[in-house]
Amino acid sequence: MSSQVNGRPTGPGGTVKDREIAAEQRYVDTAYARLEEMRADAQAMIREGYRQSLAGTKGSLVDRDAMVHQAALRAQALDVADDGLVFGRLDLAPGELGTGETRYIGRIGVRTSEHDSLVIDWRAPAAEDFYRATPEDPRGVVRRRVLHSRGHTVVDLEDDLLDPDAADGMTIVGDGAFLASLARAREGAMRDIVATIQREQDEVIRAPVDGTVLVRGAPGTGKTAVALHRVAYLLFRHRRRFGSRGVLVVGPNPRFTAYIERVLPSLGEGSAALRSLGDLVEGATAAVHDPPRLARAKGAEAMATVLRRAVADHAPGAPDELRVVFKGVVVRLDRPRLDRIRNEVHRRSRGSVNAARGRAATMLLDALWRRFTDVGGPEAAEAAEGAEAGLWNAILAADGLAALDEEPTRTGGGGGDPKREQFDARVREQRAFTDFLVAWWPLRRPLDVLRSLADPARLRRAAGRDLDRADVDALAASWAADAPLSYQDVALLDELDALLGSPPRPSARRRAAAEDDPFVVDGVNIITGEEVADDTWEPEMQELTTSMERLERSRRVDDGVVEERPEYAHIVVDEAQDLSPMQWRMLGRRGRQASWTIVEDPAQSAWEDLAAARRAMEAALGGERPSSKSRRRRGGGRRPAKPAPRARHDYELTTNYRNSTEIAAVSARVLALALPEARPARAVRTSGIEPVVRVVPERDLADAARAAAEELVGQVEGTIGVIVPLPPEESGGQPSLFDAPAPAEPGAAWTQAALARIGAGLPERVQVLNVLEAKGLEFDAAVIVAPETVAAQSPRGLRVLYVAVSRATQRLTVLTADPKWSGTLLED
Ligand SMILES: Nc1ncnc2c1ncn2[C@@H]1O[C@H](COP(=O)(O)OP(=O)(O)OP(=O)(O)O)[C@@H](O)[C@H]1O
């Protein structure tokens, strides 16, 4: 028999619950005392590491570094556990010996000095029952207890009785603290859910480590929370594998990454890289979302082909004639010949265009030599040379000196033919040749190539039949020199980076022998663009670091993309339903050997061609090379072996922990309009507060939004989101769904200035943001402005609206200029 109590007074010592709390507090105090000792040990180890360094041998320095590093990590983990160290307790059914085991679960594992377990790390196998046991499948657990603490103090308890038959005399306390915790005020940053992870969520967190885990679920089902806890789990259980090669977490925008950035550190795992799709590429930051039509064009897989053609086109300002002089003979290559050579160099050097300058130089020399021999150059040259040499030899002989020899030839080209070698050497030395090479085959930066496509004629050449005329004009305008980079542009820069590759690296031998390098002209290597010498250059004195720094400088672009692209052992993609095929290609390059966790809700997708995105996702996850012809690995490295097909583990989360049932009902209505066949998740918390829909004249929407936010400031303690339609430059200037007249009041066009006006003077916990920025976030209260406009701004506008109405935990206010929406959102 167990006794269920809800805090009733039961005599001296307070309520039963008070006594239970006091008992747990004693245990928690013991755990904290031990934590203090462990901390002191870690600090002692750090001091010992430094002391060893005084011994001064090389070996001891290495040992010291390893020791200090380990001890510092340990100290950091112990610090994290300071808040809410112990949050769970399991009472197991008596085993054969007749006594039931008790386990305490916490943020980290704590053992006594005799190595007995005091607290089990939540990620350890022995903690799994804490999350998995249910009344239907108690897994030997009689009672599961959640401890709610503030700092070191236990303030509340909540029990689940899982096996009543085995609960002989056990006290059960609980008053819905879990549901109450879901209603807590939001502080603007996501928190970990380590104490209340639910069974279906735990299955995702502990899913098999290899292959791909694909998690689907409606808004608020904990997809983001689960993905982050999975990262902490993977780092704990497979630290060697993931700690060294790294984990990348990708979210839709920086607002979102800022929102989730505290979760992993709060779990003691600060080492994962957190990036948004707009800042995944070094040196490039997205500032805007493209309007739907542009986003569709830029994100489509066809853009890979367009960019490949763009890279193969002649560079802007490239000369269209090469003229050199050899022994008095003018040798010329015209535009058609140059175009043929350029195409041939590109054909042979896919994926490493910048590295192909050497090949370009060689092929130009070949072509020049052919031209030279075609026009009868050798005979003419020999005749001229013979006459000149004869004259000089006669003069020298008169002075008793030796006759003129052939000039010593330099290395490179020629295939052993001395005449050809002499030809190459002479031509390479000519300014006309080197200047031509640099202008004709410039070392290009991704951003330069993208901006060059602002020229519609150039873009048309690259587009072939892959883009229609209207797309070409809109794309060209979007890449004008002063236009901000968009989220889709960042993926295009990465694609271009993969196509261009890095400039060739001079080999160590070539660096050392720069003096003899035929491609070093005036102290600059014309192949790599690297400065290899100045007036005081001395090969033996050249410091390695200096040379490496120069190389680094020559590879780095000022405002473009840095050459090295990190690769990760595990990649988590949140809001994956919105990734375009080009964005998947960008991610695929970062995870060619990675395992993946993908979380998504197709019903929230703003992307139109989901099938194409799916194909691109499969290609990225399969570790396949991108399907465009840019297959060769940059820098000419060895190709990774073809990866084996990856295991796939699919999961669905079904409970909505965010919205009250009242708000969930509104979002279910929008979902029914957007995607009639989709099923909403089950909300678990009823607040008794009905959402409000107000009809307001169009020109008053901005003022009404401000007024609604002011009202909510007095009603909720935490964050408030005012969610407005896209600004004109991101919406493509689309008219309203219901053909409302153009807004007379400029504030109703949702520009940055208008947003700033709505939020001016309101407390910091009020955020005014557009619907795309609201992805993945949540607020205590949300004001949705002009749902009719949101719905009309893109072909997937209703899905975008679905995202917006599912952001609030407690209160939802909708402001519309169209009375129809009142009925649409509220009627049963
Ligand atoms: N087991 C849980 N215990 C307590 N809170 C939870 C639990 N699971 C989820 N939550 C809370 O529910 C809210 C929604 O979670 P989350 O943002 O991860 O959902 P989501 O599925 O990613 O939503 P969206 O699709 O809108 O991005 C968060 O505040 C999260 O902390």
- pTM for this predicted structure: 0.82
Residues 331 and 414 in one domain: yes
Q: How many separate domains does the chain show?
A: 4
- Please name the residue that has the structure tokens 């519309």: 816
Residue 521 inside a domain? The answer is: yes
Residues 767 and 647 in one domain: no
Identify the residue whose C-alpha is closest to ligand 1 atom 3: 196
Q: Does 223 appear as a known binding residue?
A: yes
Q: Does 219 appear as a known binding residue?
A: yes
> Which of 653, 681, 713 is the last residue in one of the domains?
653
CA of 237 to the centre of ligand 1 (A): 23
Q: Does 218 appear as a known binding residue?
A: yes
Identify the residue whose C-alpha is closest to ligand 1 atom 13: 658
Q: Does 221 appear as a known binding residue?
A: yes
Q: Measured from the CA of 227, which atom of ligand 1 is nearest?
A: 18
CB 354 within 8 A of CB 556: no
Pocket of ligand 1 (CB under 6 A): 182, 190, 193, 196-198, 201, 217, 219-225, 601, 657-658, 776, 778, 806
Q: How many CA atoms are closer than 13 Å to the CA of 294, on its beta-carbon side?
A: 23
Q: Token pair for residue 789?
A: 């406009």
CA of 543 to the centre of ligand 1 (A): 55
Question: Residue 362: what pLDDT?
Answer: 92
Question: Residue 48: what pLDDT?
Answer: 76
Q: Measured from the CA of 604, which atom of ligand 1 is nearest?
A: 25
Identify the residue whose C-alpha is closest to ligand 1 atom 26: 219
Per the structure, the complete domain to which residue 780 belongs is given by 656-826
Q: Does 761 appear as a known binding residue?
A: no
CA of 821 to the centre of ligand 1 (A): 28
Pairing mode of beta strands 86-92, 102-106: antiparallel
Residues 601 and 681 in one domain: no
Residues 352 and 403 in one domain: yes
Q: Which long-range contacts (CB under 8 A, 24 or more apart) does 821-827 make?
A: 821/693, 821/695, 821/787, 821/788, 822/693, 822/695, 824/669, 824/673, 825/666, 825/669, 825/670, 825/691, 825/693, 825/787, 826/666, 826/691, 826/693
Residues 735 and 814 in one domain: yes
Residue 469 inside a domain? The answer is: no
Residue 423 inside a domain? The answer is: yes
Question: Residue 56: what pLDDT?
Answer: 60
Q: What span, in angstroms and rounded, lies between the C-alpha atoms of 536 and 118?
A: 69
Residue 466 inside a domain? The answer is: no
Residue 799 inside a domain? The answer is: yes
Residues 428 and 383 in one domain: yes
Pairing mode of beta strands 141-150, 86-92: antiparallel
> Which of 623, 653, 683 is the last residue in one of the domains?
653
Question: Residue 283: what pLDDT?
Answer: 86
Q: What span, in angstroms and rounded, lies between the C-alpha atoms of 489 and 482?
A: 14
Residues 44 and 57 in one domain: yes
Residue 271 inside a domain? The answer is: no
Closest by CA to 671, choosing from 688, 686, 683, is 683
Q: Does 714 appear as a known binding residue?
A: no
- DSSP letter for 288, please: B
Residue 188 inside a domain? The answer is: no
- 333 forms beta bridges with 322
SS3 category, 3: strand
Residues 543 and 573 in one domain: no
Q: What span, in angstroms and rounded, lies between the C-alpha atoms of 74 and 198?
A: 28
Question: Residue 709: what pLDDT?
Answer: 97
Residues 131 and 236 in one domain: no
Residue 275 inside a domain? The answer is: no
CATH (domain of 671): 3.40.50.300
Question: Residue 299: what pLDDT?
Answer: 96
Instruction: State the ipTM, two decimals.
Output: 0.99
Q: How many CA atoms are closer than 13 Å to the CA of 481, on its beta-carbon side?
A: 0
pLDDT averages per 10-residue partition of the chain, 828 residues: 48 78 96 91 78 62 69 75 90 78 93 92 95 91 92 91 81 74 81 92 95 95 96 91 87 93 88 93 90 92 96 93 90 94 88 86 93 73 54 46 39 63 89 92 93 97 94 95 94 95 60 56 59 41 32 38 74 95 96 94 85 92 52 42 71 96 96 93 93 94 95 95 86 45 52 88 94 93 96 89 96 95 84
Give CA torsion, residues 379, 381, 387, 392, to 10 deg: -140
CA of 205 to the centre of ligand 1 (A): 14
Residues 647 and 679 in one domain: no
* Pocket-testing residue among 191, 193, 262, 575, ligand 1, by greatest number of atoms within 8 A of Cβ: 193
Residues 669 and 620 in one domain: no
pLDDT tens readout for residues 100-136: 889 999 999 999 989 999 999 999 999 999 999 988 8
CA of 778 to the centre of ligand 1 (A): 9
Give CA torsion, residues 573, 575, 581, 584, to 10 deg: -10
Residues 671 and 599 in one domain: no
